[in-house]
Chain A
Amino acid sequence: MTDAAVHAVNPDQQARVRLSGREICKSFGPAQVLFDVSIDLHAGEVHALLGENGAGKSTLVKILSGYHQPTSGALSLDQAEVTFEDSEVAENHGVILIHQELNLAEQLTVEENIFLGREIKRGWFLDKAAMRAEAKKLLDQLQCDVDPRTRIKDLAVSDRQMVEIAKALSKNADILILDEPTAVLTGREVDILFDQIRRLREQGVAILYISHKLDEIKAIADRVTVLRDGRLITTEPVAEVEKDDMARLMVGRDIKQMFPDRAPVEAHDVAMSVRNLSVDGQVRDASFDLRRGEVLGFAGIVGAGRTALMEAIIGLRDRSSGEIERNGEPVSIHSLQDAKKCGIAYLTKDRKGSGLLLNMDMRPNLTLLALEKFGTVILNRKAEEAALANAIEAFDIRAADPKAKVGDFSGGNQQKLLLAKVMETDPEVVIIDEPTRGIDIGTKSQIYHFIGDLTKRGKSVILLSSEMPEMLGLSDRIAVMAAGRITGILEGNDRNEHEIMRHATGISGKQGVSVHE
């Protein structure tokens, strides 16, 4: 805030329009996704682009940086009209986009990625030492202590993001566009990123920052442009709009109730119980009951063993011991197929890597998990189409073009499709891992209500989430894990952040054991 205020009084910088788009329209086939959008990026200013998933933010910035051509409308750079035939031309003009989906060569090292296509050479040979030193310097600036020789595939997602940023910095970006950079970063990393953004702003770089997180926009941006359904809603100084207003402008309506109402459930009506389940080195002796119609949250710090426990339940990971009962009957689950037969479904947190076939359209994705429902010998295409029509309706999937590849869908629509896919098997127990990662608040609320509806229909839900409001707002009870053990199951008034942290860090009575690996 203070930054913005200090900044606002610097008029000569403020007035310098660098890159602007005029009345940009964009269609993909028959589907128009941008309607007459205009935007100005000023030197030495952080301009936020705010909008729900699918509002057209990524499409707009891809046009600004040469990855897409506008269907109509024009770009100008320093008041002169320009055309960016491709991203290379844009980069030569100093316009650099850091993609929402990171764009690094997985098999190459950090330094190779940073200098990809612009290798430093001495004579005919690569000057590896110089590149390593330069890469190290850039990463140090970002307080990111990864070795430049590490391969990208061995890095955590947040480190990959830092490498992307280092790469952009090394290209001396004049106009830097960041598409939802914080979706995969931790709190500390976000702070470091913001420091870097402020430093670049001091140097006069024009920055376009995309997010649907209102706090971030308040913290970092000078002006904000709101997009909704491909249309420009407004552009205003951030200091003059409240967060509530921004949310309303973005969603186009008031979000009255973020979370569904919870109805009390019968404690003795147990849908699934897990007894003394262990996974070598990751889960120790976990036991819990899942009641019919409840949402049982699983909290814990990263590495506490939540994912390992869930994967062991659904047969994706070997158990070293433990039993599972469904409706009081012991069941034997050794594969995902077994879990499916027992009415247990799992919604992965990795939508793109293990959830959806990004190169295909919606129909095959929807029916993949429940193919046998659509024919054992010949698939019934009509039935598939009908199921798709139902799913689009029931889960409010908004695809401009239903035949488009789901890889082109916004995160929110992908998540809804994934939910629909899993529900095709008509499961009794649904394990949901991070249901709203990278999803805007309007869609988030919708997904929360879908989950609420599931429980009303008698389904039982296990929720894994790293977002505290979501955990508290959705769960009836919260199991907390630390170091591979369930350290407590919180109910009623104990269901609060303080208790969760106390159990998650292991300072509560029952101590977790330290686990290896």
Chain B
Amino acid sequence: MARIIVITSGKGGVGKTTTAAALAMGLAQRGKRTVVIDFDVGLRNLDLIMGCERRVVYDFVNVINQEANLNQALIRDKRCDHLYVLPASQTRDKDALTKEGVGRILEELSQIYDFIVCDSPAGIEHGATMAMYFADDAVVVTNPEVSSVRDSDRMLGILSSKSRRAETNDEPIREFLLLTRYDPARVESGEMLSVEDVQEILSLNLLGIIPESKAVLTASNSGSPVILDRESDAGQAYGDMVARYLGEEVPHRFLHTEKKGFLSRLFRG
């Protein structure tokens, strides 16, 4: 049985797709059979971030409508054998994702894969609720900023009340916080909420802190998940996140600005 992980947020544009791509790639690189599904019907872009947009033939909605089978729609990643992508469709009809259809496909994928990563659209609209409903684990992606933190708290309310696990009185969804676009310099100067501030409000299991990084844009430009860029701070932070998700104890990094250089120390800058 696969573990179903939803990558969610209340506010849009916080880094869910970046995270879904990194998590899926990271799990697959560790030998876990992984599939990543784009639930953002109509606004698909996971395929772009994964760099497989030109290989999309069928999509998630085609499979739900039984116009194609899973094997026809799944795209095998060229960099990693254990990784598959199920792209979203460009159709504007969001209701195409029915609970029965999504449930049936997740069930089928569960037989084959170890992890199913669901890249959710933001908020609580239909596609997002479908991505959350079947989840075992949820990664709540949050930026250190008022509206994002507030919306994350709202998502927690929904995760704990409107999921399959809540409806069947099963063990609740495991919720994790991932703080992204963290800028230590701005935190140190008091302009940005710190990880401690956010934790004081949300008090969730902290899966990682991803620094604001130029590497993310570079990665998306070239269609290569940033976790593959091992030189970069964001790539390493995502690597740590995957390790923590799998239960390893890894200290948090990239929380502070780099130590001052020789010159500024000399002048007691």
Q: Is A bound to B? A: no
